[in-house]
Structure 1
Amino acid sequence: MSQQPFDPGIPLLTEVLLGPDVTEPVAPAAAAPAVETTPALPPSIAQPDWDVIEARLTQRILHQVQGKIDHLLEERIAHVLQTALQNALIGMRGALREDLQQSLEQIVAHAVSHELGHLHPPAQQSSHSYP
């Protein structure tokens, strides 16, 4: 049973890369026949352009890693924002509770004063004047 590599888009160290003109990978040297029957390769194929191969491989790996980094960043940002919001809400809750307490005390004091005013109306002055 053959085990698949982690990512089939990334070449293995046992693969031979011939360059930008070759689209099929060459089998590892261990699988090559003992007697070579192919003619010599032209210099353009025999000497691959390592700079081009390196640039392509770098771009492919960077693209794959960037996708993973983007996902990790989104998770990290969500976690940081959630923590910051929770801390902000905890601080706001105390301030809001204090403001609400003061407002309720004022409302209750006003309501009590209003009710007491109805129960004990102020003494009315009589219209009679005494000399």
Structure 2
Amino acid sequence: FIGDAVLAIFPVEGDPRAACALARDAAQEIVARLAETEGPALRCAIGVHVGEVTFGNVGAPERLDFTVIGSAANLAARLSEQCKVLDEALLFSGAVQNALPDDMTTLGRHDLHNIADGTEIFKIPA
């Protein structure tokens, strides 16, 4: 259960650059649309990572929940949490930066909860 969060997956078929580009574009669209809303400011915190996960329905027949499990999902969630610390709406992992190197600039290495070693985090310059 992730509360008021959304976890979106973009399946990788062959070259991961296409999935990374789709995820980047969707995230940027969310940020842009929230900026256009009238009334109180709406903020988001989006972490984008690419990696292997296990996904599917889990639970008893009378209550199945679709879930995504794995270290890649965990890292995406931790990047989302780090958005609040760094006051950024959108952060990317090194794996995404490797797939889309021209788009990213580093924010350095950061310790993330339950992630071994410091994680280099990237953003798209304004």
Which TM-score tier does this pair reach, normalised by the shorter chain? Answer: under 0.3
The structure whose residues are more often strand, as a share, is 2
TM-score by length of 2: 0.21
TM-score by length of 1: 0.20
Of structures 1 and 2, the one with the larger relative CO (CA 8 A, separation 6+) is: 2
